[in-house]
Amino acid sequence: MAEKDLKIVKDLGRLSWLAEKYPNIQSASTELINLQAISNLPKGTEHFISDLHGEYETFRHIINSASGAIKEKVDLLFSNILDSSERAKLSTLIYYPEEKLNEVLSNPELNTKECYKITLNRLIMVCRLVASKYTRSKVRKALPKDFAYIIEELLHNSYSDPNKAFYYTNIVDTIIKTQRAYAFIVAVCNTIKKLIVDHLHILGDIFDRGQRPDEIMDSIVNYHSLDIQWGNHDVIWMGAASGSDACIAVVLNNSILYNNLEFLEEGYGINLRPLAIFAAETYKNSDLSCFIPRTLNSTYQNSTEQDLLLTAKMYKAIAIMRFKLGGQIIKRNPHFKMEKRLFLDKINYEDKTIEVEGKIYSTKDVDFPTVDKNNPYELCPEEKKLMNQLRSAFLHSEKLQKHIKFLYDKGNLYKCFNENLLLHGCIPLNKDGSLLEFNIGGKKLSGKEFLDYAEKVARDGYFAKEASPEKEFGQDMLWFLWCGKDSPLFGKNKMTTFERLFIEDKSTWEEEKNSYYTFSKKERVCSFLLKSFGINKSYSHIINGHIPVKSKDGEKPTRANGRLIFIDGGFCRAYQATTGIAGYTLIYNSYGMRLCSHEKFEGTLDAIKNNTDICSTSVVSERVTTRIRVGETDKGKQILATIKDLEKLLAAYRGGLIKEQPSDK
């Protein structure tokens, strides 16, 4: 028996299973031809975005415009036909079809029928272009059910074809005549946005700072294809939704600091009245100078002095609870090695001083009426009652629970995708550049092995049985990932929230970054880290979020000869004064990679009314000499493996090793 036949005989068990799906030569060969064709199509476009921090309007525009990819298609098709203002108008229509249509149709002098006809023809041209690199089957699946057949007919016919001109124009005329043009235009625009990006990657930090992270979550829950790499601002919300008191205290602290009370109450239905009542009574005579909230959001700027005073009291109340609850986690998890972050037992109330890492500093505030000097990390009875109320609110928020379950479903600590490593924070390293080891229960874990372990434990924090040791440790791990020493999501030696609140000496505020951020500038280190995750291609990258790139100071988003790409450039308004821009996004299509920097977005209303776009600049491009095909992607590898199996199945049919069956069996 020939060697080839021996291999087929060896695989007969697996091939018999495949034969159930493709029972004869006809069905197997048809699928093989189909898969072979798909493997030779251009690779789909990947869109990378990071550190959204609740900036819903900016996020929506970046997603709708695909970081400028839609505008490129419009310019490609119409640069010789339409002036720049008309092209901008068409692009805005695709981004915001309903809002823009309503604005256009409000013009009483508009010839509505002619407007619809011209617009429909232009949109079909754009849709045809973005659909051209997919199979008809894939495009068909992307079409809205109500108009799937009509859109498909228009995509595969044209008024420029003399044999189909009448057929094509008659379809368009009938759409208008039956008063379905408005809905049809919206459907085509949404189809374009669905097809322009094949897969979305969000590299963490959806939550905190910006005003509407819940609306970002609402929009991505329905996104056609995406993955999420958890950020430290995400895992703390995951912990809060699991019922962790420490995590709840942190997210409330952050939300109050950035004035997201409206988002908490209206977005997730978290009742903050118990906190307000407790804070108003407990801290009515307290020094609040350290707890004046930041005024990034206009709602604070319009608040009354009484409102600001109450908010400051709430901020102080939850901050003290935060330090108590965080201290409890540190004390029951000595392997976290965070004993230096215990401060409430090191305060000298008489001298108004505190000991921090062996040094004595004066403090700005020691008015802590709920802190028992003999048991400083224990919640007082009133705080325990309040925490029970807050925990119940988080656990019973239907919308929050839905969003967090989605984060668990679509999210991971890292992702290996198409020979790139995607992560939010870092791969913790020692000061000599070696992998940092974490001692967990006597077992030392580092690199990929530790991230896999930490993710498993983080899932236990939400899904493990209530009140079980696994649940408690999982919740503690979520808190550790948020702020722990050298956490792969936090990536620093300490989070100096306490020092920033209470100590004037700014030297105590410094947070030392993990050595990853130094050694990752070296190509050999990036290559080593990629290889440790099973990625070993010369064109592979580590794609990172978390650390804003200070473009205004000359920092570059790429390092290590292009092997590492940082895409956090200040998407959040809180960082834009530091970075000088409003964020980076990355497009990876069949022609290569393009990193874009974005200027500040002026808002949806301005975009719709004036057809303004985010001013984007391509700062880095890696263009391949030969277009990347589907067969070179992760999905393509699966397709090619199936093709090999189908080839063996066909040989087995033809050699009589497996008997053919009728297709309708």
* Per-residue pLDDT at 6: 56
At 487 the pLDDT is 96
User: CA 665 to CA 661: how far, in whole Å?
Assistant: 7
Confidence (pLDDT) at 184: 93
Secondary structure of 554-583 in HEC code, one letter for each residue: CCCCEEHHHCEEECCCCCCHHHHHHHCCCC
pLDDT digits (tens, 9 = 90+) for 177-217: 999 999 999 999 999 999 999 999 999 999 988 889 999 99
Over residues 79-131, the pLDDT tens digits come to: 999 999 999 999 999 999 999 999 999 988 888 899 999 999 999 999 999 99
Nearest one of 338, 357, 145, 377 to 249, comparing CA atoms? 377
CA dihedral of residues 331, 333, 338, 339 (deg, nearest 10) = 30
| pLDDT score at 623 | 80
pLDDT in tens, 303-362: 677 888 889 999 999 999 999 999 999 999 999 999 999 999 999 999 999 999 999 999
Q: For residue 71, how many C-alpha atoms fall within 13 Å in the half-sphere facing its CB?
A: 21
Q: Looking at the predicted structure, is the pLDDT value of residue 1 above 60?
A: no
Residue range 455-500, pLDDT digits in tens: 999 999 999 999 999 999 999 999 999 999 999 999 999 999 999 9
* Residue type at position 469: P
Burial class (CB in 10 A: 0-12, 13-18, 19+), 75: middle
Average pLDDT over residues 162-190: 89
Average pLDDT value for residue range 269-294: 89
Does residue 553 or residue 583 have the better pLDDT? 583
Q: Report the chain's mean pLDDT, rounded to a whole number.
A: 89
DSSP states along 630-644: GGGSHHHHHHHHHHH
Instruction: Tell me the pLDDT tens digit for each residue of 9-37.
Output: 567 777 888 998 999 999 999 999 999 99
Among the ranges given (297-301, 418-422, 651-655), the one the predictor scored with the smallest mean pLDDT: 297-301
* Residue 370 in this model has a pLDDT that exceeds 70: yes
* CA pair distance 414, 411, nearest whole angstrom: 8
Backbone φ, ψ for residue 414 (5° rounding): -155, 170
- The predicted structure's pLDDT at residue 294: 65
In this predicted model, which residue has the larger pLDDT, 134 or 551? 134
Residue 298: which pLDDT band, with cuts at 50, 70 and 90?
very low
Burial class (CB in 10 A: 0-12, 13-18, 19+), 108: exposed
pLDDT at 299 over 60: no
Specify the higher pLDDT residue, 579 or 235. Answer: 235
Instruction: Tell me the one-letter amino acid at 272.
Output: L
What pLDDT score was predicted for residue 68? 87
pTM for this prediction: 0.92
* Contact yes or no for 488/413 (Cβ under 8 A): yes
Highest mean pLDDT, choosing among 16-30, 39-53, 225-239, 357-371: 225-239
Average pLDDT over residues 162-178: 85
Query: pLDDT tens, 510-533?
Result: 999 999 999 999 999 999 999 999
Average pLDDT over residues 287-309: 68
- 482 near 489, Cβ under 8 Å? yes
Which pLDDT value is given to residue 226? 96
Q: In this predicted structure, what is the pLDDT of residue 331?
A: 96
Higher pLDDT, 620 or 599: 599
Between the CA of residue 321 and those of 347, 363, 416, 507, what are the distances in Å? 16, 18, 38, 25
Percent of the chain with pLDDT over 90: 67
Q: Which whole number is the average pLDDT over 596-602?
A: 77
